Structure 1
Amino acid sequence: MEFTVQQIADLLQGQVEGDNLAKVRTLAKIEEAQAGALAFLANPKYEAFLYTTGASAVIVSDKLELKKPVSATLIRVSDPYSSFSTLLQYYQTALLASKTGVEEPAFMGNASTIGENHYRGAFSYIGNNCKIGANVRIFPQVYIGDNVTIGDNTTLFAGAKLYANTVVGNNCTVHAGAVLGSDGFGFAPQADGSYKIVPQIGNVVLEDDVSIGANTTIDCATMGSTVIRKGTKIDNLVQIAHNVEVGEHTVIAAQTGISGSAKIGSHCVIAGQVGIVGHITIADKTTIGAQSGVGKSIKKTGTIIQGSPAFDYKQNLRALTVFRKLPELQREVEALRDKA
């Protein structure tokens, strides 16, 4: 695909500074870009590359003051990072739109329906009584169980697995290897020390605009639904247990584990390798630092916590400062004891 700089500027509502008819065919990092590429500059640390880049065009801030002449055509916008993200989104959408039709072999069960302009990759499987919307992309080796509902413009990448009764909204993305609807970890201890399986008969519900990372697992509810609310973004290798609810527009980074029946608020930020115990509530706009262990409910909106067990972020930093000095403090205490 090839576009003029002016076409891109019109899309981003930006202003061209230079050759508005310059052609771009690809996207690249500013430090690596060559002729025909479009790059962007958002971080001031990379400004030096603006004066040496081989890119044909660069997206920059409308507030940037040039220190040297530049050879690239500039597209000035209010937020270069967001504008480049928008462009990437259009580019990805165009690539996905090129995937249409049905590759054989592909299977679709009885009484299942799928909307227009869809793509079904080879070896994909759709069970019985499924309702799948328009512009859906189902890549090879995707498994969709019985009674699954999928909204419009959703993409399921290769090897994703949706168990029976899963509900996926509009504009969702489920990346390769993700599993939605596997059994929750429900076992009842018996008097003889063994464990009896507690059947998990609920489902998983993803609302609109949700993204699920590769190899992430979301367990079905024991009864009712495990729910991921609108706009939430979940990274790779995340485990979400049965009956969890995650609020709108929350982001969860890799290797986080959320135990059963925890309730996560809206607009929360959960960093990598966080562990959250079950049956607690996390307030809206909570930020949880990496490798934290959360063992009790967070009730105050906007709380920032860190550590294991997790507590107030600033207090945690002060505690870490003391912790690093413990060997020195121990020597001082021992010296005082010897003098006593």
Structure 2
Amino acid sequence: MNPNRQLLLALLLGVFSFSAFSQVKIGDSPSSIDAYSILELESKSLAFVMTRMSTAEMNALRPLEGALVYNTTEKCIFLYKGATWSSLCEAGVKVTTATTAPAVAQSKSGDFWINTTTTRAVTNIFNGTSWMAINANPKSGAGDPNTKTGLNPIAGDIYVDENAAAIYIYNGTSWANNTAATTVTAGNGLSMSPTNVIEFGGSLTKPTVLPTTSTNTLAITGLSAPTAADNHDFVVVDRTTGVLNKVAAIDVLREEEVVLIASNGQVQFSPPKPVNSKRQIDVYRNGVRIEFSVVNTTTIELEPEASCYAGDKIRIVQVY
């Protein structure tokens, strides 16, 4: 029998069956239908073709929820649920390889688009609103990033200038060229060896202070022994500023003496220099060392038992 006549006969039988049993079977075995089916299509030589329309035609419809159409633009079946059409071909993540981005209306979060417009394909991901390159940080391009738009950086983003092989870091306001920072120099007491090792031994280029505490002290070990007493200087510290100074050994300790002729009963005398400590002075009467006390910075006084007679020689030796 002609297939078209056979299909027409099946439709007529289906109508009668629907009238009697509220079920319709179209195609092969029209008398056999599952008890839970309201409509069954069965054929080994004919296909079921649902409504066909473009994306624009489909989006103009507001059918009952559950409606199905074949979208001839997307070449896929779409299901109407809620208030939108959803593709049944893209239940998972969609990956598109093309020179142009897929339409935003037909994309969902997590979809991938591989942009093949450049010699190096760039992979993008849809964030729910727009397509964003997954290599957004670090960013790269030809030329200074400060001259480019659309980078949308945040503080800490990195950009590589492919032309100059320069690295930029976004500081929150602008792109700063960080390439120069990789060149290390040494100064202010440090020097750099030919193998780029930083070492002590450079010239001081500014006043330098090394703060110390009772715990964090400063020590120098390994000093060589002097070869001659008169060939060395002393390092002294300025009591007010803490600055180190060099002083000749001969100038570190000076000795000066004065010989005075005493009057009868005299006990007070003036040393050659102002007195800061009793340890700076030795006093001799007629060649014999005697005890004394410091009255003030300009006066010393002999012990009571050492009261002088007229003509006694008082020699005062002072170290300063």
The answer, yes or no, to whether TM exceeds 0.5 is no
How does the TM-score come out when normalised to structure 2? 0.22
Larger radius of gyration: 2
